[in-house]
Structures are given as structure tokens and as C-alpha cells.
Structure 1
Amino acid sequence: MENEGDVPSRGNPHRDAGSFLARVENIVGKQRLLTDLDTRRLYSTDFSEIEMQTAIAVIRPRNTQEISEIICVAAETGVAITARGGGMSYTLGYVPRDENTAVLDMTSMNAIRIHAEDRLIEIEPGATWAQVHEALRSTGLRIGCMGTMSGIAATVGGGLGNNATGHGRGDITDDLMGLEAVLGDGSVILTGALSTNPERPVLRSYGPDLTGLFTHDAGVFGVKTRAVFRLHPKPEGVAFVCYGFADASDLVRALCEVERLGVMASNMAFSNYHHRLFATMKPSPDEAKAVARSVMEMAPSKLRGLSSLFSLARPGGFNYLLKWPFSTFGVIDAYDQATADKMARAAGAVMRRHGGVKLPSSLGVAFRAQPYMPIERLMIGVDGECTIPTNCGVALSQSEALLNAVENFFAENEADMKAHDVTWTRLFLTSKGGFGMEPILYWNDRPSALRMAQLSSERRAEFEAKPENKSSRDFALDLRRRLVERVDTLHPYHFQIGKYYDYHSALQSDAAWRALVKFKDTLDPSGLLNPGGLGLG
């Protein structure tokens, strides 16, 4: 018997994978229907290291019509569908939970259309943040949220399903005007401003706005095929606030007080592990030229640009970070340089009051010029370890409680971590009145096929003969699970939910859960869209 609030089992009991594959081949063509085992396994895993089901196929649709037809066939044949972007999930976001699941590889749908006069940009879900950044480079315009550090591979569609934040101001929803998505019966829905004016979407909430229901939804309500965002002029004034800290509590207090000022576009902090990472990064000549070009383009004046380049070219690179346990870099955008500098002075005074020591601005300059890190540096550690993050955020008033909970947890597990050769570090981020912390675990192991796929051929050769270390991996995954349980008493929010976090228990209203279940049943009556995402289906 089902308990109140449980999700009923749904789906077509008659599953005909053979018929599904044959009919989909007629829709997309043989070259865009991949059924070899290696590809299916690769596209059925994420960085969580948790194994579920292997997809029956990887499909590469080219447009909304093809996706609509594929979903109609899936509903008729009982096959489930998950949509995958750049594959940067670490919460089982697109990983098939059920047998007879096909994965839509959305990266072929990556068109970007800029409507500068109306200050709008239309983006297909397979476009990466780096591609959007490049498309806007010469326009003098940008989206407030510039995406995640993994933006070389992470896509806008994945960001919509996971509420991306990171570089720039706020999160992905702040400038989102509306969405196009394909529902579980193959019909196409337009939301927000697109629903009333698809050609010139201006007012998102003209009547009830459904857009929010399709964001941070882990893809369970529809396959997103198009999004429109509001654009803003690039700021004429840019300033950087970079400080070193000896103590984590002082750093957190400074970050939160600066967040309350409301002056920062980005406000991130790192600990000593990432200082080592930055100190070892040596850009190629081509990468250095690209960064130099970006620095000059974003500078409010030639003199300011040359000053920023000088900061980047300082002897020793980022080695100055190695003396500090913690560092923070903030970016301030303003109408003009005088205003940006005034805001930076106010933020700097807060940093110094909490024990911060002013650092060169090179880290801030580097991240604004090139916001996205090579994926292999995110998924493989400095010493060749495998890595996995866990993000959690709380209200500013709870920041020290979260810090203490995390620090105490790792102190309690220090001996066992040492025995299993597992280490950790953390990132910090404040945004929209919240404080975020991202503990990252590292363990020595042979990289998974997904991690190996992110490596250059030269680096891949380093790991080919490396043995698996299942004991350390299992310990790290269990440590992560227990960490999530420890901080859950603070009711944290997470930027990826997927199938990993217990979203049902996080909701403080039973009525909200029942409404979501009914909404899912209405939009996806066969329960075929990413079963298990958010705990639905």
C-alpha cells in the first residue's frame, strides 16, 4: 500500500526497446543513434561514481521537432528518456535509474541568436557557457550570470535544470525570460514571456509564470529546447577585491558582511589546495594571448588594461597565494570606474576589519578574463586524484554554523581519512543573500571512463596503468553521504539535486510535494522523463 505523498509507479508496462530504436533511427538517422556499449556506458555515468543503469542508446537530436517525435515514440514503447548536456553532473542528474532508458545528447542543439536591439539572447540547451561568452564578446552585452567554472563543457540546458551559479551576478534564473520545452506527451510548451510574445519576449510574468517550474527541475517536467535571457550592457567600471586570510572563520565573516553591502558581482574564496592548483597552472602561448585579449577588452581604459596585464605577468605568477591558508577574490561591476573603485574601497575596509590582507588583483583579473577552467583540472586533482564536490548553502546568519558543522565533521573523520588516503578542501561563495560552501573530496584511484574522456591524450597516458582503488573510492562516497546527513539539520539548499539529495524531505510543506507529483503526472503521464529526478517518477 502506498503512503500519502508517495509517488505512484507509472510508465507503460509494455516495453519494446527494439521498436523504439528502429523508429528513432528513422527520425534522427543512423549516425545520430549510438548503440555501442562503450558510448552507452560513458553517457550513463556522471562524476558521482555511483553506478545505475546503462542506457539502451544515446540519441543526438538536432531540433525541437525531432525531440517531440522521439518522446512520442518513447511513450508508445515504454522507454524512458533523460537529457544530458555537457555531462558535468555529480548528483546522478541524467544517469538512467531504470532499464530501457535512452539518453538524449543535447550538445548538437547549440545555436545562439542575439537580439541586441531588444537586449535579448536566445540559446539552445546544448550551448556551453564558454560558447555564449564568446558569442557576446564583441557586442558589449552579457547575461548577469556567466555560468559555472566548468563552463567549457557545462551547458546552458544543464544549468537550467540545476540552477547554475558561479561567475557573474546571481543565478541563471535572474535574467531568464522564458523557456521552450517538450513535455512527456510530445507537446511543446512555451513559458514566461515566450508564452505571450515568442518573437519579442519582454515581460516574464504576464499572467501566471510557469518558467520557475522548469528550472532546477532535474529535467523531470520537460526536455528544454530553447531559453531566452535578458542582456545587460557590460559595465564601464570594473574593480577587484582580493585578500588573504589566515583563519576560515574570519574569512567567512568578511564574505558575509561584504555580501550584505550588496556591491559584489562575484564573491568567491579558496583554500590552500586551490592555491597550489593556481600556482601550477601554466597557460600555453595561445591561452596567454587569449587571456591578454580578454583583459584589454574588459578594461575601462587602455591604462587600466595594461595595469591588469602587469598584475597577471608578475614574477612567480600565483605563487604569492601559497603563503595563505585562504584567499578571496571579488569582482565589482559599476556604471563607471570611479563608482567601482568606491565600492571596492568599502568592501576592502570590511575585509581588513576581519583580518584580511590585501593581495594582488591578478586572481580576480584572471577569472574575469577567462571564467572557465579546463575540465581536467576540476575532475583530476593536482596530484592525480579523483575529485567529487558537495555543495550546500544557507542564510548568511547560518554561515558560521555551516562552517563549524563541516569542519567538525572532517576533524572527527581525520584518522579514517588518513587511513584511506582521502583528503578534502573547500570553496566558498556568497550570492543573493546566501552563503555557500563546497567541500571537495580527493582520493587516489584510477579515473573512471568519464574522467579519462576529459583528459588530453598526453595526460590520459599517465593514468592508463593506474590500478583501481575501490576501498578508498567507497570510503570517499560514504564520507560524502554522511557529510550530507550531518549538515541536513541546517536545511541547506543545493545547486544540483538530481537523484542524489532527498528533495522530498527537504520540502517543509506536504502540499507542495503533492502539487509537484500532480504536476508531473499532468505533464508526463507515462512517467518517462528522467524517472527518479527530484525523487519523482
Structure 2
Amino acid sequence: MPDTNATAADLLPQLRDVLGDDAVLTDADTLAFHGQDVHSVGAPLRAVIRPATRDGLLAALPLLHRAGVAVVPRGGGMSYSNGYLADRPGAVLVDTGALDRIVEINATDMYVVVEAGITWAALDAALAPLGLRTPFWGPFSGIRATVGGTMSQNAVTYGTGVFGTAVDSLLGLEVALADGSTLRTGSWAQDNGVPFFRHYGPDLTGLFGGDAGAFGIKMAVALRLVRRRPVTTGVSFGFQTFEEMLGAMAAVAREGVASEAFGLDPFLQKQRLGMGDLKSDLKMLLAVGRAGRGPLESLVQMARIVIAGRGFLDKINYSAHYTVDAFDKDEERSMLRRIRSAATPFGKEIENSMPTLVRAYPFPPLNHILGPKGERWVPVHGILPFSRVAAFRADLEALYAGHAAAMERHGIKAAAMFSTIATNGFLYELAFYWEDERAAFHDRILEPSAAASLPRYPANPEGADLMRRLKAECVALYNRHGAAHLQVGRLYPVTGRMNPAGRDLLGGIKSHLDGQGTMNPGALGF
């Protein structure tokens, strides 16, 4: 039971005693920033703590547990699904960003152990000189997204076409539970064990993957390693219809050779090509040069991109972009031949500028959290089997038609990006743009030059309300078509849709691990 003597007045001094003054933050700017995500604002926070060590976190959690204070874990903060937004006033947010050490790189047994707060960009930079990488090696937001936060939310992007989602690369976890006790999973949980193997008995590692921090706070993560393939190539195709693009993306996915595969609709193509300026263009072009296989090939690739410019998607409605990673030229040719054979019946090959630039500059600054004209932006997504995509799209177009007048009146525009996951999943990600006031969150995340140059808009409460309703209706539509979701947070109703036996089992686990219900209450629908 909570200790009623542990009041707000004496809790913060106790936290400062175990963590240090600099690790307990209560100023208004910090509370406002950490109380927001890309789209929404949570209930007011009591404090933000930023433990510098795992021992410090384990010392702080019993204080919060005895006081009955809600605890909200946060990684890099790039969520839009309310995953780390408190649903009641007075919660303490745990910022894991200072837990950013690499604990072990084991090239013999092919695993790496990192603290949860390390970013994907930092981890990849440490592994690259060793000729190693993790199978999934980060989302687009990897310059800020942390490994632990990603494992709580799950994610796709780099490596997903072959190796699946982020959680598919997990070997084991070290988790701090609500009362301050420590749990390890996989072979790491055994006496004398090391985190080289995930499955030893029931898969407890999977239980904590994608849990939105509802079961505990990830302190350390063990990931599988693979050899880094030195030959990387992009190939792109253009299509006139969505059906052609879907057919090509499904056919290529079944080949299992594209490390990444993403598609863009007409609106998002224009948005992506409209973003950036000369400075960012040069930065990406120089990255292409550094990523080349040699001086001559680098110059050739840079010249092709310059010649193609931003007009290589003219007269193309939809596009799909692929990358392959190979050990040598022979393997590269074989992979590209299979992709071209699968995609060519549906469209035509176009300049490969986009996948080349993405891979050369995989973790760019996060200026895309606003639109190219400073508009607010929020995505909503679902993962569908290929056979259900067409029916979902038809219902989505009907949903948009029903709101067309209101969307036009409030300046809300809808776009979509598409990805394939391994051989069996199609991620249909909606992106909405509308003119509204910028939040403190955006000014902290944007590069200073972007924050200063992008237009600002006045508050648009009617547009924001319509956007919230559209977001909820899109989630409900995904549900009607049996979609799965990443970064469940508090947005996607995973437990609400679950069969009763599964829901009861998951609820029982939550009760066992967090009897007071203070660990990220509201996440996963608990």
C-alpha cells in the first residue's frame, strides 16, 4: 500500500538524495516539453527524473512505489500515440536518455548489450568500424529514438524488409519493475547466463517487447549482431496507380531480399521533394559521396542525383524504393535482378536518388516533425496482410469523402507512406497536415535554423478537434480490417480488441508485476 507519509513535499528531496539535484527536474519548461509528444499533451507532471545509472533508477523506483506515485517511462520522445503522456496529474516521468552506455560488444558470440537510453545512431556508429550491425538497426528518427524506447514501442525501417521489426532483433532485456526489483529475460535470466539466446522456456522477452512501458522500465537491451554487408544499392520504380504499387511491393517483399522497401503516394512525394533547402541538399549529397564505394563511383552517383534533381518523379503518381545489402557484386546483381523481375510487371524503373540519399544519410535531423511549410503533422498507421489492403483503402477513401468538406474548410490534408515488413506485412501509414500553433515540443526537436525559418500559425481549435476525430476514426477503421500496430501507447486498443482469455492473461501479468497500477497507467489499455 502507498505510504501516506510520503507526500509530494518530501518525495522530491528523497529523489534528489539518491539521484543528485541535476537529475530531478521540476522547472516549467522541462515539464512542458516532457509532457508532450508529436501530437498531444498529457496531464501535468510532478517532476522529471533523469537517472545517470541503472543503480540510481533502481534506488528511485521504491521511493515512488511507496508513495503510490504514477511513473511514466520515456525514451527519445518521438511517439505520437500518447505512450509516455501521463493520464493523471502528478506523475513522475523517467527520462532514460542518460542511460546511454554500450555495456558489451561480443563479436565472438554475436550480440551487443546496451543501456536503454542509447540512440540508434550512436549504436550504429559504434558497430560500423567493427564491420557489424544489428539486424534491425533503427527507425528514421534514430538520431533521437532510443533502443529501449523502440523496444517498448516497436518500430520498422532499417533492416525491416529482411529481418522484421525492432523487437525481432531482441535477445534479452533487463527491466526495472515498479517496486525497484530487476528482471532479466532469455538466456540472460539464468544462473551464469549471458544474453546470447532469446528462447529458453516461455518467451518473456517478447512479453516486454511492445509493452509501451506498462510492465516496467527497460534498463538494458541485448541485441543480435550480423555482419555488415559492404555493398549497398538502391533501386526505385514508378507507378500510375496504387494497385500497381501494391502489387509490386507485395511481389518484391515475397522475394525477401530488400533490406528496406517504402512507397509514397502523390501528395507525400511532393511533400518530401518540397522539404529541405540548399544547405540540407548539399549535406545529403556529401553523405552520398562519403558512402560511395570509391572516388569514381561516388562522383558518378552524385552526378546522377544532381542531373535527376527533384524532377525525377514528374508524371509518376506512386513510387516504391528499395535497398539491398550484399557481400559482393555477384550477390548484389542477383538481388537486384530478383527485385526488377518482381516489380517490372507493375511499373517502370526510375532514378534511384531517394533510396541512395536515405541510406547515405539514414538519421537526419528531425525537421519532418512539421510539414515543409510549418504545418502540424501527425501519422496514424496499421499493418495489414496484403490481401486486406484493397478493402481497407476503399473504406478509407469513403471515410475521407465523408469528411471532405470539413477537411477542406479547416485545411487538413491527408497523405500516406507504405512499407513492407519481411515477407508478410504491409504497413499503411497515414500522414495528416494542418495549420495550427506550434508546441514547445517542436521548438525543442527542430534544428534551430528550421525552427526560425518555418512559418508559425495561430491556434486552430476547430481544426485540431476535427484532427482528433479523424485520428480516432482511422484507428477504428484499421481495427475493422484486423490491422496490427506498432507503438501501441494509449492510442491503439490492443487489450480492448483481444480475445477474453488473452486479455485476462495479460491483465494478470500486469497485476503481478504492478499491483498498484502505477507503472505507466493507461498504457496498453490498463
Judge same fold: TM > 0.5, yes or no. yes
Q: Secondary structure at the match of 1:56?
A: strand
Q: 1:66 Cα deviation (Å)?
A: 1.1
* Aligned equivalent of 2:447, options 441, 448, 456: 456
Q: Secondary structure at the match of 1:331?
A: strand
Aligned counterparts of 2:2 and 2:495: Cα–Cα separation in 1: 21
Counterpart position of 1:502? 493
Aligned counterparts of 2:454 and 2:320: Cα–Cα separation in 1: 33
- Range 154-163 or range 119-128, more displaced: 119-128
- Range 403-412 or range 86-95, more displaced: 403-412
- What residue identity is the alignment partner of 2:355? G
Is the 2:120–2:142 contact (alpha carbons within 8 Å) kept by the matching residues of 1? yes
The structure-2 alpha-carbon separation of the partners of 1:343 and 1:77, relative to structure 1 and needing over 3 Å to count, comes to: same
**Residues 132-531 of structure 1 aligned to structure 2 (within 5 Å):** 132-169=123-160, 170-196=164-190, 200-276=194-270, 277-281=272-276, 282-284=278-280, 287-288=283-284, 291-292=287-288, 294-296=290-292, 299=293, 304-312=297-305, 314-354=306-346, 356-377=347-368, 379-432=369-422, 433-462=424-453, 466-507=457-498, 509-531=499-521
- What residue identity is the alignment partner of 1:321? L
Is the 1:279–1:321 contact (alpha carbons within 8 Å) kept by the matching residues of 2? no
Aligned length: 519
Aligned counterparts of 1:408 and 1:23: Cα–Cα separation in 2: 56
Aligned counterparts of 2:495 and 2:128: Cα–Cα separation in 1: 41
Q: 1:200 Cα deviation (Å)?
A: 3.8
Q: 1:305 Cα deviation (Å)?
A: 4.7
Is the 1:11–1:528 contact (alpha carbons within 8 Å) kept by the matching residues of 2? no
TM-score when scaled to structure 1? 0.91
The structure-2 alpha-carbon separation of the partners of 1:203 and 1:470, relative to structure 1 and needing over 3 Å to count, comes to: same
The structure-2 alpha-carbon separation of the partners of 1:388 and 1:465, relative to structure 1 and needing over 3 Å to count, comes to: closer
How large is the RMSD of aligned CA atoms in angstroms?
A: 2.2
- 1:48 correspondence with 2:39: yes
The structure-2 alpha-carbon separation of the partners of 1:84 and 1:71, relative to structure 1 and needing over 3 Å to count, comes to: same
Gaps of at least 5 residues in structure 2 are none
Identity %: 29
Q: Secondary structure at the match of 1:425?
A: strand
The structure-2 alpha-carbon separation of the partners of 1:285 and 1:362, relative to structure 1 and needing over 3 Å to count, comes to: closer
Cα deviation, 1:259-281, whole Å, max 9, x if unaligned, reads 12222211111123333323543
The structure-2 alpha-carbon separation of the partners of 1:264 and 1:198, relative to structure 1 and needing over 3 Å to count, comes to: farther
Gaps of at least 5 residues in structure 1 are 1-9
- Range 384-393 or range 60-69, more displaced: 60-69
Aligned counterparts of 2:119 and 2:290: Cα–Cα separation in 1: 18
- Range 519-528 or range 395-404, more displaced: 395-404
Q: 1:427 Cα deviation (Å)?
A: 0.2
The structure-2 alpha-carbon separation of the partners of 1:208 and 1:136, relative to structure 1 and needing over 3 Å to count, comes to: same
Q: 1:324 Cα deviation (Å)?
A: 2.0
**Residues 51-200 of structure 1 aligned to structure 2 (within 5 Å):** 51-112=41-102, 113-169=104-160, 170-196=164-190, 200=194
Q: Secondary structure at the match of 1:391?
A: strand
Q: 1:13 Cα deviation (Å)?
A: 7.2
Q: Secondary structure at the match of 2:17?
A: helix
Q: 1:158 Cα deviation (Å)?
A: 1.1
- What residue identity is the alignment partner of 1:28? L
Aligned counterparts of 1:412 and 1:285: Cα–Cα separation in 2: 39
Aligned counterparts of 2:382 and 2:431: Cα–Cα separation in 1: 11
Q: Secondary structure at the match of 1:252?
A: helix
Q: 1:222 Cα deviation (Å)?
A: 0.9
Aligned counterparts of 2:159 and 2:245: Cα–Cα separation in 1: 20
TM-score when scaled to structure 2? 0.93
Q: Secondary structure at the match of 1:390?
A: strand
Cα deviation, 1:456-498, whole Å, max 9, x if unaligned, reads 3343345686321111111111111112112321110111110
Q: 1:61 Cα deviation (Å)?
A: 0.3
The structure-2 alpha-carbon separation of the partners of 1:308 and 1:194, relative to structure 1 and needing over 3 Å to count, comes to: farther
Is the 2:436–2:457 contact (alpha carbons within 8 Å) kept by the matching residues of 1? yes
The structure-2 alpha-carbon separation of the partners of 1:441 and 1:23, relative to structure 1 and needing over 3 Å to count, comes to: same
